[in-house]
A = this chain, B = another copy of it.
Amino acid sequence: MGPIDDLKTHLGTIHDVSSAAAVLRWDQETKMPPGGAKVRAEQLATLSRLAHQLFVSSDTERLLAAAEAVAGTLDPDSDEAALVRVTRRDFGIASKLPADFVAERARARSLSTEAWREARPRNDFAHFRPWLEQMVDYARRAAEYLGYADHPYDALLDLYEPNMKTRDVNVLFTRLREGTLPLVNAIVDRGQVVDSSFLSLEFDKEGQRAFGVMVAEGFGYDFSRGRLDESPHPFASGFNTGDVRITTRYVLRHLPSAIFGIFHESGHAMYEQGVARTFERTPLARGASLGIHESQSRMWENLVGRSRPFWEHFYPKLRERFPAQLGRIDADAFFTAVNVVELSPIRVEADELTYNLHIMLRFELEKQLLEGKLAARDLPEAWNAKSKEYLGLEPRNDADGVMQDIHWSSGSIGYFPTYTLGNVVSVQLFEAAQRAHPGLTDEFKAGKFSTLLSWLRQHVHRHGRKFFPRDLIQRATGADLTPEPYLRYLDTKFGTIYGIRAGAGAATE
């Protein structure tokens, strides 16, 4: 055993504790009886504390230093060198936050989310406000502990999207907004009404589940290393490459919820199932970032799951399961219905085209909060004003406005941009896969997705956290992160559906 193996053994122990906590969280959301909640919170707090203590220990420092001495002699692109590099980065971040700060914030986060859960149904921002103020304060303090060169937002964004800078997001979002708005406006101005009412007939749960599983298996989600359960908030959770689970929520009178949810989560899950087995129980055995993770879920949900070739294959199967609801609807009408563009004040109800406007709104507000230019108490008005500016409409109330998302209640500030990054990256990767395999989408018509999955396995999945996101994108696509493929995609897809001349959106390109 050399020093790198010694480090791996130590990191394996820490991984076991963290992944045990992940199993407990999965259980909490899917199986735990209500009576178990109180002690479960204690178990999770203990496991998190132990994992943190083990990681920021002098043992890690010593093993890491010894491993670095060896790694310095290795190819920087080797797995061993990457493991040491990523561990050093993680160690740096974990060591910067004082243990008391982490523990105190963890408790406050739970209480804050609890307050949000109470306040939202009652539309009672005043009840949530003191907690939100605390969460903003913790975020600002965390940014100071972590340090940054340009903007406090950099310190937080870096936790979710390693090495990504706020100024890069500014540039990207500006281009996206100017590239998307003309198309959005053209569609809204056109005022075309699409019939999607049949999606709100009643679809039984068993049928929804069976169809979702059929598609997920068709994509290549391996159920011998995964499973599908129900939870109020759908998620994917990987404990190791051999056990990556997904959940969904069945809404009997809204077919898209569960089925596109399953496509989405299976995209996340296939990513983690595809990480190199040699990374098992190391810090490399996860996705490269939240943005790259989202690129995978969005690819399978939207680029595959909302595409014409996909439904050419799967629509007859769906109709066969639900003849009463879909018997009179043809594939074309179904395809159009699941791609309706409509401005809505709610992010999770947004379509593919307008979704990013919701993210931009949050990103702008988050920056102002961190800069101290906006106080948490003034958020409702600021939210409504930005909503009007970005979406052309205001929410009915704070419950559907500033309180609509769970993220801020748990202090997850700096997280939202990764959703839009995921959308952008999904198309950049998809284009690269298409360049390598020009007949790619034709295969979808035959229900074949293995070429796409293999390309992703090869260029994205197997690398886990080995590379920084932009490095991974460069290696996979031969280019730096760019929104142009995404803008072209939106323009072509929605221009075609709504009969608007191509180029209305990406006009400035």
Contacts and interface: CB of A to CB of B under 8 A. Distances in A.
A439 interface: no
Contacts of A224: 33-35
A16 B47 contact: yes
Most chain B beta-carbon contacts within 10 A, residue among A19, A39, A222: A39
A23 B13 contact: no
A13 B48 CA distance: 11
Contacts of A101: none
A33 B281 contact: no
A239 B42 contact: no
A36 interface: yes
Interface stretch (A24-32, A176-184, A366-374): A24-32
A17 interface: yes
Nearest to A22: B43
A46 B47 CA distance: 12
B16 A42 contact: yes
Interface string A1-21: 000000000001100110111
A309 interface: no
Contact of A243 (B20, B21, B33, B226): B33
A60 to B, nearest CB: 16
Report the copy number of this chain in the oligomer.
Answer: 2
A330 to B, nearest CB: 38
A225 B20 contact: no
A227 interface: yes
A243 B40 contact: yes
Given A31-B31, A42-B12, A281-B42, A225 B19 contact: no
A47 B31 CA distance: 21
Nearest to A38: B242
Contacts of A225: 33-36
A27 B37 CA distance: 17
Nearest to A39: B240
Task: Pick the 3 closest A-B CB pairs, nearest first.
Answer: A36-B243, A35-B242, A35-B225
Given A33-B224, A35-B222, 12 more contacts: A12-B46, A17-B46, A19-B39, A20-B20, A20-B24, A33-B226, A33-B245, A34-B224, A35-B241, A39-B243, A42-B281, A43-B239
